Amino acid sequence: MAPHSPLVTVAQLQEWLQQRPTEVLVLDASFDLGDPAAGQQAFLQSHLPDAAHIDLDKHLSSRPDGSNGRHPLPDFAAFAAVLARLGADNTTHIVAYDRQGGMYAARVWWLLRRAGHAQAHVLDGGLQAWQAAGLPLAEGPAATRRSGSFRLRPALVEIVDYETLRPLVDAQAAPLIVDARAPDRFRGENETLDRIGGHIPGAKNRFFRDNLDAQGKFLAPDALRAAFEALLDGQPASGAVMQCGSGVTACHNLLALEVAGLPGARLYPGSWSEWSSRDGAPVATGTA
């Protein structure tokens, strides 16, 4: 049933929902960093039939303490309980989507992989692709669904923390670090989310939206592979570290790498929001 790619098309998802609806859970991960209530409101106005809403702040993150970034990883036992409550088992195909080019759906995909769940997918093109296909939408609260038995299993993806990364950066011995933020924020300009602008010394910039075409769908695997291989410059993807502002859009680059057939890169969950909050952490500005 699962495709080779972590992406599913509208046609594939429609077929799954028609043929095996009890084996699929669709999660709407829509969110707005500037208005945390907007995702739930948008869900109530329109969502894929039988989808449930999952919230970045409430379900996909734990509480920040001022030094661990704006969106620390969730407590995974609590994350598993949420998935079970929404109807997931360990064999369920979980498909995430959003209205923001996959930036939040990719976080769901990566967290599912971190929870040991291989049947994790992202709807390519999100809600807009579903609408463009002329398919119906629902409104109001999510439909009630039986509880599932989702349980944590060994992680399928790896992380790197500040304590590991900092001395490597200081010694100029860090692996390739790729920052998914917009180029101006990477350069240290127009910073509105974190108290210090700039980037981790030695990092390269790959804006997550460069993974998408004009319709908001992921570029073809060959195009993604060429772009990331140029960035890697001969280094294996498995040695690279992906980061962003708070560990969210970095997952978009991790998803793109997976689509490109270049798996194995690690996530720095705290990302720039953690790095820039630590006393004495070095900061670079300008282009890489």
Say what the pLDDT of residue 2 is.
Answer: 46
Say what the pLDDT of residue 107 is.
Answer: 98
What is this structure's pTM?
0.97
Contact (CB, 8 A) for 213 and 185: no
Q: How far is CA 221 from CA 19, 228, 257, in A?
A: 28, 11, 9
Of 43, 1, 7, 5, the C-alpha closest to 22 is 1
Contact (CB, 8 A) for 216 and 125: yes
Active site residues: 244
Contact (CB, 8 A) for 282 and 170: yes
Structure tokens that stand for 138 in this block:
């629902």
DSSP string, 17-86: HHH-GGGEEEEE----TT-TTHHHHHHHH-B-TT-EE--TTTTS-----SSS-SSPPPPHHHHHHHHHHT
Helices within the chain (DSSP H only): 10-19, 38-45, 76-85, 105-114, 126-132, 162-170, 183-187, 221-232, 250-259, 271-275
User: How many H-runs (helices) and E-runs (strands) does the chain carry?
Assistant: 10, 9
Mean pLDDT by 10 residues, the chain (288 residues): 79 96 96 95 96 98 94 98 98 98 98 98 98 97 94 98 98 97 96 93 98 98 98 96 98 98 98 96 92
Say what the pLDDT of residue 288 is.
Answer: 66
Structure tokens that stand for 267 in this block:
């996530």
Say what the pLDDT of residue 196 is.
Answer: 94
